Structure 1
Amino acid sequence: MPEQRNALPFEPKGSGKVNKPASGTPRQEAIPRYVADRMARRVAVYAGLPSLAGMGVFVGSYFLVTRGIADIAPGLTLTGSGLFFLLGLVGLSVGVLTSSWDPEPGSLLGFENFKPNVQRMKESIRAQKQQQKQEKS
């Protein structure tokens, strides 16, 4: 007998039902584990390196100014680090969208997977919208 509980204030309507798969049935995942791991590694590289560079701009500017090597305007430091952090933000999406969904890992940069993954994303959004329309009817 499934547990009955009160829905939390931020839960969508209808989420109070607990749908557990039968004990012998394997659980189907939206994203396979090997793909999720691959996405995590790519995000760490594509978002992590620019973010580290953004922090490095602050450290490098501080070092250059305090040693008297260069006179760097604070606005230039802020702009430079901001651009790297923005690049890191773009890297989050690129890291996910360049991951291969095949069991084989694909190429190093993975840009050949970008277009098919964008198509998958569009189809998924379209299917969710269609499902929501059917539920409202």
Structure 2
Amino acid sequence: MASQPEEKRTNLPFEPTRKRKKKPKTEPVKTESKPQPPVQDQRKAQASLSAIPESVSQRMVRRMAFFSGIPTSLGILSFFAFYWIVTKELLELPPYTVVLVSMGLFGLGVLGLSYGLISASWDEERVGTRFGWEEFTVNIKRIFAAFRTAREERRQE
């Protein structure tokens, strides 16, 4: 399976643009300089650079609601459907049938949360496809690349 070179890919707005540098183990000597802004302001500035844009987060929420909401709703409705089937004596169902069907549907709901998050386009200007398979493949490659990079950085320390 050939993958595209990572160099051609453009970084997303909330993706880090440079690698972290190792912090020195020795404490630096304090020199007089300009007063530094409060730590709280620095954290807010970093959070705004690494925060997910509003349009992308809304897209993720919509997809998560769709891909998780449908199976979860069917899982809840399955209880009522099985109750109706048993009370009307249409079928004789063993109790584990209800458990297996509802657990399967709730499990699909949990998978839908993950798929909805990863299948959303992480680019602000690009909406993406309806079911998001193309975006899913791109984003899953990005996630694995980030894990590999983090693992390599830990090994180098």
8 Å contact from structure 1 (residues 21, 27) kept in 2: no
- The offset of 1:75, in angstroms, is 0.8
Task: Tell me the TM-score normalised to structure 2 length.
Answer: 0.64
Structure 2 equivalent of residue 116 of structure 1 = 138
Structure 1 equivalent of residue 96 of structure 2 = 75
Query: For 1:1-137, what aligned pairs fall within 5 Å after superposition?
Result: 18=39, 20-21=41-42, 27-102=48-123, 103-132=125-154, 137=157
Gaps of 5+ in 1: 1-17
Structure 2 equivalent of residue 10 of structure 1 = none
In the aligned structure 2, how far is the partner of 1:83 from the partner of 1:24?
43
Bigger CA radius of gyration: 2
Counterpart of 1:20 in 2: which secondary structure? helix
How many residue pairs get matched? Answer: 119
Counterpart of 1:46 in 2: which secondary structure? helix
- Percent pairwise identity: 31
8 Å contact from structure 1 (residues 47, 88) kept in 2: yes
Distance 1:131 1:59, change over 3 A: same
**1:105 partner letter:** V
Distance 1:80 1:21, change over 3 A: same
- The offset of 1:45, in angstroms, is 0.9
8 Å contact from structure 1 (residues 99, 113) kept in 2: yes
Task: Tell me the TM-score normalised to structure 1 length.
Answer: 0.73
Gaps of 5+ in 2: 1-38
